Amino acid sequence: MLGIRYVKVSPTTHVVQYRRGKVVREGAGLSFFYFAPNSVLVQVPLASRDVPFVFNEITADFQDATIQGELTYRVAKPLQLAALLDYSVDAAGRHRGDDPAKLHDRLIHGVQILARGFTQKQPLRDLLTGSDALIGHVLTELKSLPSVASLGVEILGLSILSIRATPEMSKALQADARERLLQKADEAMYARRNAAVELERSIKENELNTEIAVELKRRQVRETQLQAEIALEQERAELVDRRVENDRKESQARADALRAVLEPLKDVDWRTLVAVGSGGLDARQLIAMAFRDLADHADKIGNLNISPDLLQTLLGAHPDQREHA
């Protein structure tokens, strides 16, 4: 009525009232009456917004890559943004133009330019597995862009939902990755076999070392036993030598004793010794000694007559025995 209207905005909306090109009031979540014919209202959303995006880029190895993600931002300086884009609303609270949608396009364009500069330096394989590096690069550069800073917005976050190659390249990369995995599996199997062979070799070597050590111990035992036997034989040889020496000394002593006994008798006639030793000589012994003397002087005797009686006496037959016979 009479052009006076009432406006009430949410706490996440910054409202600005212009009159004759000057700001009359501004703030978030305001409610007031205003005179419509000479007032212009501007409403700038302050809540964070998520802007999805998807675009195709070329990698360093000239392969197509599709990057899909989402940008999150909020308006930090509404008056600065309202000075660049038309956020004025009509009586129903609708924006008069499409400038609010242009804000999304400008931000996405900035993201795409930065992502393109990063993508063109990366091979497809590295790009598909390097989403974190892409996010870090784009987010850092986007916050420092003058075009973004002039809009008065604050970049809250950037997420990459997917990075996809063409179906043909995806199959090729999958096949290559599969071959690499199979090769690694083969290498792991060969490594296990080599480890098993090495372990078996180590076990065999330990067994051989054990056998060698046992043989050395046995050899040491045999050598010790042999040395003990040699020492025993040496002791036995020394004992025999001592026994021989003792026997020799004992024989020498007996010989010396016998020599001492016989020394005085060496000049005595043997007949005298026989007579003394036998306690006297009988007739036959005397005759035998006589014949011994005759034999010693046989070269001096021409003829020797022996009577029968003497012969019988020598043969040991007495006269009584002959008569009895």
Report domain extents, the chain.
Answer: 1-46, 48-165, 184-267, 270-299+307-320
- 175-211: per-residue pLDDT in tens? 888 888 889 888 999 889 998 999 898 999 999 999 9
User: Given a cut of 60, is residue 318 above it in pLDDT?
Assistant: no
| Pairing assessment for the beta strands 153-165 and 39-45 based on DSSP bridges | unpaired
CA distance linking residue 96 with residue 90, whole number of Å = 6
Least confident of 1-5, 15-19, 27-31, 306-310: 306-310
Q: What are the Cα distances from residue 17, in Å, to 31, 97, 287, 320? A: 11, 17, 192, 199
- What is the predicted pLDDT for the residue at 322? 45
- What is the predicted pLDDT for the residue at 1? 53
- 98-155: per-residue pLDDT in tens? 888 889 999 999 999 999 999 999 999 899 888 999 999 999 999 888 888 899 999 9
- What is the predicted pLDDT for the residue at 241? 86
Q: How many CB atoms are located within 10 Å of the residue 165 CB?
A: 20
Q: What are the Cα distances from residue 212, in Å, to 158, 168, 216, 323? A: 71, 64, 6, 100
Most confident of 29-33, 264-268, 307-311: 29-33
Who contacts 18 (Cβ-Cβ below 8 Å, separation ≥6)?
Answer: 24, 39, 40, 41, 42
The upper half-sphere exposure of residue 104, i.e. CA atoms within 13 Å in the direction of its Cβ, equals: 13
31: nearest Cα among 1, 47, 45, 10: 10
End-to-end CA distance of the chain: 210
Concatenating the DSSP letter of every residue in 108-141 gives: HHHHHHHHHHHHTTS-HHHHHT-HHHHHHHHHHH
User: Given a cut of 60, is residue 325 above it in pLDDT?
Assistant: no
Share of the chain above pLDDT 70, in %: 82
The upper half-sphere exposure of residue 53, i.e. CA atoms within 13 Å in the direction of its Cβ, equals: 25
Q: What are the Cα distances from residue 85, in Å, to 38, 52, 98, 289, 317? A: 21, 21, 9, 179, 185
- What is the predicted pLDDT for the residue at 255? 82
- What is the predicted pLDDT for the residue at 21? 84
68: nearest Cα among 131, 157, 161: 161
CA distance linking residue 100 with residue 88, whole number of Å = 10
Who contacts 140 (Cβ-Cβ below 8 Å, separation ≥6)?
Answer: none
Segment 160-169 shows an average pLDDT of 91
User: Given a cut of 50, is residue 324 above it in pLDDT?
Assistant: no
Is 41 in contact with 7 (CB distance < 8 Å)? Answer: yes
User: Given a cut of 70, is residue 60 above it in pLDDT?
Assistant: yes
Identity of the amino acid at 302? G
Arithmetic mean of pLDDT over the chain: 84
- What is the predicted pLDDT for the residue at 271? 60
- What is the predicted pLDDT for the residue at 91? 83
Most distant CA atoms of the chain, gap in Å? 216
55: nearest Cα among 43, 71, 39: 71
Q: What are the Cα distances from residue 54, in Å, to 74, 119, 161? A: 20, 14, 10
- What is the predicted pLDDT for the residue at 304? 66
Q: How many CB atoms are located within 10 Å of the residue 148 CB?
A: 19
- 237-255: per-residue pLDDT in tens? 888 888 888 888 888 888 8
261: nearest Cα among 277, 278, 281, 285: 277
Most confident of 39-43, 88-92, 319-323: 39-43
CA distance linking residue 309 with residue 318, whole number of Å = 9
DSSP 8-state code for residue 268: S
Q: Does domain 48-165 have CATH number 3.30.479.30?
A: yes
Residue 4, strand partner residues: 35
Backbone angles phi, psi at 209, to 5 degrees: -60, -40
